[in-house]
Amino acid sequence: MSKYLQNTDKNDINISKSGKLDLLNINTSALTASLNDLAIPRLFYQLVIFIIDGSNSMNEDSKNGISKANEIDKGIRSIIQRLKKSKNNNSFDVCFLAFSDDFEDVFSLKNVKDISIEQSFNPLKYVTPKGTKLNRALLHSKEIVNDYHLKNKLKNCQVLIQILSDGAISDYDESIKTVNDLKNIKNTTVSCQFLESHIEQGQEWYSSNEATGEIDYSSRWTIEEVRQDEERIANRFKNFASSIDLFVTSIDPEEIRKHMIKSISTVSKID
């Protein structure tokens, strides 16, 4: 051992006259620096993929009286903040995709700790609001899911896909097929948040082409017809969820967090 190393060791670690390590006079700054470099190990690998509707109808008001796009933004921000405060926050990874006629991969994979509080989840900021074609975003998500499971195949790994939409999927047949493929991937769950419209007496409703935004003022709907149509759309959208309890009509950050924790616990018991 060189003279320099002997001097360094002597300064950092104090030895008492008895020849024993003196814990009362240990160099705490050196110890603190060492502890700060330690990374807390991940307990599990939970990926949540947000697939968000950015079609024309997201400009309309939700049942809560704000635009559906803004309700999505507000809800997901709350979810992210809740996960960032979790004692296991390093165990959560997030993907964010927005879709309309096409889709935008806003970010493919980020640990929740690395997501800025300034990050916007308003889908209209990322795609041109036109139609509601979901399948291409689902196919891209399928690639992400398979890669994530492969990378973490020896670990406690789970994927939760969150689809947020008002449910009027124009490529429904293709999308439901891809969703079923996703649900058949081990340790992968699909949940749906249905964004209900603001419907009340006194409003005027007309048929419209969502892809173009063109309104047909010659085709006026009654309130009853509007409500029946929304119920029909919601019932079709339910088929995307892995189970009926994973189809909800509100964005509840705490419930989503609990579901993710429950999913990981189930995987632990099985595997």
Mean pLDDT computed over every residue of the chain? 81
Neighbours of 211 (CB within 10 A): 16
Of the two residues 229 and 178, the one the predictor is more confident about is 178
Query: Tell me, what's the pLDDT at 130?
Result: 92
Residues of the chain with CATH 3.40.50.410: 45-270
Give the model's confidence band at 86: pLDDT under 50 very low, under 70 low, under 90 confident, else very high. Answer: confident
Distance CA 232, CA 234 (A): 5
Higher pLDDT, 106 or 254: 106
Model's pTM, two decimal places? 0.78
pLDDT of 257 strictly over 90: no
N residues, the chain: 271
Q: Note the pLDDT of residue 248.
A: 86
% of the chain beyond a pLDDT of 70:
71
- Name the strands in the sheet holding 92-99, side by side, starting at the edge strand that comes first in the sequence: 103-111, 92-99, 45-53, 157-165, 188-194, 247-248
Query: How far is the CA of 12 from the CAs of 32, 119, 139, in angstroms?
Result: 12, 44, 57
In CATH, the number for domain 45-270 is: 3.40.50.410
